[in-house]
């Protein structure tokens, strides 16, 4: 199998970020939990490759540790969206045209009317800011996306002969959904998962930036940008590198998603 | 067309009722006593009881819900707990910043995306197309608030063409305000323009493969004429969908961008309300944002039907 160039570049970028996040548990160039006022706001270059922030913390080390927060929030939110959305989509497709289908689809429309940020505002206003609330907000936002994708793809599969044959053989709709439909829409779900993953990273950064995500003290790309904002004239590097990191992470995932979509069955591409 | 519009109108109403129920439930039912929450942990019991009476929390849930909804319909959103002024006044003043910003950004993103998407589709597979695809791929990955910070760095701090933030207020005239909203609108518009240009390009390429375009070419139209006269109109459906969806992104994005530029819009209002536990303001602003999204979806549906008569039958 030949890898399309977009997929190769995307997978490489994604691997770098996963690797950096994993490595940060074992080693970072500098510790990230202490303050070193003497070393504050150092420009990039020298021992601190990407400079230091207003507490003298090494930007590269902070970015590595921050990668954990971003990746964890985005991955769990995608998992949440899949776990809730895919069964709903399969259920709606299996009971096509019924009241259940209608309720699931109208519920979908309703959640679509709440942008992730608005969900986060509502949750945070009531429960206070935390990384968990960010996950919940992005996860709720992801749910109708997965429900819609899996329903659409499953509807196309339900008309195929082998599914009809399974019905004639006496298999129930739940069993057919699990054994025949789900494996055949898995490709599509992985592609959509990659896209939601990159959207999740952007959303987490935005939520942490406005103070609705990672709490104070948790290194996070969005929070680094929020802190950099007041010193942007003095130390532009504190704002430039976290932003570039987000761009590269999101770009990598998007390229990987596009590449994966091109690899998967073109017939399924229509069903999207 | 009228029947279609009416059926959409009914579903608009139902969506609003459902959304208001969800918001009401989250704010007033889930966490326990809003009055105790708003006053914090150290409040005396009789203070809490007084606030409960003031907020009307001693009434039954359905009564409170109906009171809230009928109040909103009459333009009465309640009294802000921290500001001690009607929420409607607060919101109206802030909308004067947020709404122009969203519209400005929407116009900018359309103005950028249309020529770029057309260019890429017309030069499909060539250098210009490749450049547009690479540039838009990058544009999608850029967080708008970071882009906003870069704009401040370049155009406010280095070049000093614009102020780094703030808003003079409409009484200062159109021009200073337009200028104050320009960097925020550009920051909001560019990532959206990237998405829009890609959608327009792929929609145009798909319609250019249709038989009626071949017919148009056969009867002597040039590629450019066919693109502008026939393909563009037919490619508008997916573009309208994305424009409709983008509006909700612009509203959400605007809330964040307002924080970069210290604009006194809905975004700053809602974040202040969150830190001050002013749940009444949060509830009203969230309802307003969701209302805007639902209304735009409704208008997008009507726009589809106007562009494509086949869709009117869908009901």
pLDDT by position in tens, chain B (length 315)? 788 888 888 888 988 999 999 998 888 765 566 677 777 767 777 877 777 777 777 777 888 888 888 888 888 888 887 787 888 998 898 989 999 999 999 999 999 999 999 899 888 888 889 999 999 999 999 999 999 999 999 998 888 888 888 888 888 888 888 888 999 999 999 989 999 999 999 888 888 888 888 888 888 888 778 877 778 877 887 888 788 878 877 888 888 999 889 899 998 898 888 888 788 888 888 998 899 888 888 888 888 777 777 766 654
B chain contacts of residue A209, beta-carbon cutoff 8 Å: 143, 145, 256, 259
What angle is formed at CA B281 by the lines to CA B280 and CA B283, rounded to 5 degrees?
Answer: 65
A225 at the B interface (CB within 8 A)?
A: yes
Cα gap A22→A31, rounded to integer Å? 15
Cα gap A141→B19, rounded to integer Å? 15
DSSP B245-279: HHHHHHHHHHHHHHHHHT--SHHHHHHHHHHTT-H
B chain contacts of residue A117, beta-carbon cutoff 8 Å: 252, 255-256
> Is the pLDDT reported for residue A17 higher than 90?
yes
pLDDT of residue A271: 38
Which of A70, A118, A205 has the most B C-beta neighbours within 10 Å, making it the best mutation to test the interface with B? A118
> Is the pLDDT reported for residue A61 higher than 80?
yes
CATH superfamily of A5-13+50-271: MetI-like (1.10.3720.10)
The domain segmentation of chain B, as residue ranges, is 2-73, 87-314
Kindly identify which residue of chain A lies nearest to residue B278, measuring between CA atoms. Answer: A125
Min Cα separation B227/chain A (Å): 24
Closest CA to A20 of A241, A183, A230: A241
What tokens does A223 get?
A: 């929070």
A251 at the B interface (CB within 8 A)?
A: yes
Chain segment A205-238, per-residue pLDDT in tens? 999 998 888 877 788 899 999 988 888 888 888 8
Least confident among A31-45, A54-68, A98-112, B54-68: A31-45
Out of B23, B150, B271, the one facing A122 most closely (by C-beta) is B23
A246 at the B interface (CB within 8 A)?
A: yes
Out of A126, A198, A239, the one facing B30 most closely (by C-beta) is A126
| Confidence grade of residue A270 (pLDDT, cut at 50, 70, 90) | very low
Q: What is the mean pLDDT of chain A?
A: 87
Q: What HEC string does A198-221 produce?
A: HHHHHHHHHHHHCCCCCCCCCCCH
B169 phi and psi angles, rounded to 5 deg: 95, 145
pLDDT of residue A256: 92
A chain contacts of residue B142, beta-carbon cutoff 8 Å: 243, 247
| Confidence grade of residue A135 (pLDDT, cut at 50, 70, 90) | very high
pLDDT of residue A214: 80
ipTM value: 0.87
B chain contacts of residue A109, beta-carbon cutoff 8 Å: 15
A chain contacts of residue B153, beta-carbon cutoff 8 Å: 232-233, 236, 239
Q: What is the mean pLDDT of residues A49-71?
A: 85
Which of A63, A111, A115 has the most B C-beta neighbours within 10 Å, making it the best mutation to test the interface with B? A115
Q: Do A113 and B249 touch (CB under 8 A)?
A: no
Chain segment A21-49, per-residue pLDDT in tens? 998 888 888 777 777 777 777 788 877 77
pLDDT of residue B20: 93
Q: Do B286 and A117 touch (CB under 8 A)?
A: no
- The answer to whether B46 and A140 are in contact (CB under 8 A) is no
Min Cα separation B153/chain A (Å): 7
- The answer to whether B144 and B188 are in contact (CB under 8 A) is yes
Which of A9, A17, A121, A198 has the most B C-beta neighbours within 10 Å, making it the best mutation to test the interface with B? A121
Q: Do A114 and B271 touch (CB under 8 A)?
A: no
Which distant-in-sequence residues (6+ apart) come within 8 Å of B144 by Cβ?
A: B187, B188, B190, B191, B253, B256, B257
A chain contacts of residue B134, beta-carbon cutoff 8 Å: none
Residue with tokens 């490709």: A187
B chain contacts of residue A246, beta-carbon cutoff 8 Å: 141, 143, 146
B chain contacts of residue A247, beta-carbon cutoff 8 Å: 138, 141-143, 146
A136 at the B interface (CB within 8 A)?
A: no
The domain segmentation of chain A, as residue ranges, is 5-13+50-271
Q: What contacts 24+ positions apart, CB below 8 Å, involve B41-46?
A: none
CATH topology of domain B87-314: MetI-like fold (1.10.3720)
Which of B133, B138, B149 has the most A C-beta neighbours within 10 Å, making it the best mutation to test the interface with A? B149
The β-bridge partners of B86 are B79
Q: Do A198 and B19 touch (CB under 8 A)?
A: no
A chain contacts of residue B274, beta-carbon cutoff 8 Å: 121, 124-125, 212
Kindly identify which residue of chain A lies nearest to residue B261, measuring between CA atoms. Answer: A229
Q: Do B153 and A236 touch (CB under 8 A)?
A: yes
Min Cα separation B36/chain A (Å): 12
DSSP A47: T
Which of B141, B253, B269, B275 has the most A C-beta neighbours within 10 Å, making it the best mutation to test the interface with A? B141
**DSSP H helical ranges for chain B:** 2-24, 34-39, 45-55, 61-73, 87-122, 127-141, 144-151, 174-208, 211-218, 223-226, 232-234, 236-261, 266-275, 279-307
Out of A109, A240, A254, the one facing B141 most closely (by C-beta) is A254
Q: Do B293 and A205 touch (CB under 8 A)?
A: no
């Amino acid at each position: 199998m030949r890898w399309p160039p977009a997929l190769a570049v995307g997978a490489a970028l994604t691997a770098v970020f996963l690797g950096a996040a994993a490595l940060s548990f074992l080693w970072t160039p500098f510790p990230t939990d202490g303050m070193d006022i003497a070393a504050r706001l150092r420009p990039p270059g020298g021992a601190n490759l990407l400079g230091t922030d207003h507490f003298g913390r090494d930007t590269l080390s902070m970015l590595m540790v921050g990668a954990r927060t971003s990746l964890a929030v985005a991955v769990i939110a995608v998992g949440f969206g899949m776990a809730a959305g895919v069964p709903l989509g399969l259920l709606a497709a299996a009971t096509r045209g019924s009241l259940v289908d209608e309720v699931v689809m109208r519920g979908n429309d309703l959640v679509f009317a709440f942008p992730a940020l608005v969900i986060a505002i509502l949750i945070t206003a009531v429960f206070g800011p935390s990384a968990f609330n960010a996950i919940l907000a992005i996860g709720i936002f992801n749910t109708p996306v997965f429900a819609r994708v899996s329903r659409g793809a499953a509807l196309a599969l339900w008309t195929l002969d082998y599914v009809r044959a399974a019905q004639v053989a006496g298999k129930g709709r739940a069993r057919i959904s699990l054994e025949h439909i789900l494996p055949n829409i898995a490709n599509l779900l992985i592609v959509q998962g990659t896209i939601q993953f990159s959207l999740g990273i952007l959303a987490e950064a935005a939520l942490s930036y406005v103070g609705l995500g990672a709490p104070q003290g948790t290194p996070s790309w969005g929070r680094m940008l929020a802190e950099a904002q007041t010193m942007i004239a003095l130390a532009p590097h504190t704002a430039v590198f976290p932003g570039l990191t987000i761009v590269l992470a999101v770009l990598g995932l998007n390229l990987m998603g596009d590449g994966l979509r091109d690899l998967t069955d073109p017939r399924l591409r229509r069903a999207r | 067309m009228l029947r279609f519009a009416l059926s959409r109108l009914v579903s608009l109403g139902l969506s609003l009722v459902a959304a208001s129920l969800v918001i009401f439930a989250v704010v007033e039912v889930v966490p326990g006593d809003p009055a105790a929450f708003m006053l914090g942990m150290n409040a005396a019991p009789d203070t809490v009881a007084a606030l409960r009476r003031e907020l009307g929390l001693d009434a039954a849930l359905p009564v409170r819900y109906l009171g809230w909804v009928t109040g909103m319909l009459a333009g009465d959103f309640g009294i802000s707990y921290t500001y001690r002024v009607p929420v409607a006044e607060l919101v109206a003043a802030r909308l004067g910043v947020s709404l122009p910003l969203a519209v400005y950004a929407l116009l900018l993103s359309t103005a950028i995306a249309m020529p770029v998407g057309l260019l890429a589709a017309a030069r499909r597979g060539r250098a210009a197309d490749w450049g547009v695809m690479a540039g838009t791929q990058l544009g999608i990955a850029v967080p708008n608030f970071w882009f906003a910070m870069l704009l401040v760095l370049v155009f406010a701090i280095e070049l000093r063409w614009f102020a780094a933030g703030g808003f003079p207020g409409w009484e200062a005239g159109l021009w200073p305000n337009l200028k104050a909203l320009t960097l925020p609108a550009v920051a909001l518009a560019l990532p959206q323009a990237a998405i829009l240009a890609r959608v327009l390009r792929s929609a145009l390429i798909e319609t250019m493969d249709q038989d009626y375009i071949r017919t148009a070419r056969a009867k002597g139209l040039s590629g450019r004429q066919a693109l502008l006269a026939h393909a563009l109109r037919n490619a508008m459906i997916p573009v309208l969908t994305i424009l409709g969806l983008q509006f909700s992104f612009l509203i959400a994005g605007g809330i964040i961008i307002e924080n970069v530029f210290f604009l006194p819009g809905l975004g700053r209002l809602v974040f202040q309300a969150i830190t001050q536990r002013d749940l009444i303001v949060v509830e009203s602003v969230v309802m307003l944002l969701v209302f805007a999204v639902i209304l735009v979806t409704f208008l997008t549906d009507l726009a589809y039907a106007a562009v494509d008569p086949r869709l009117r039958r869908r009901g």
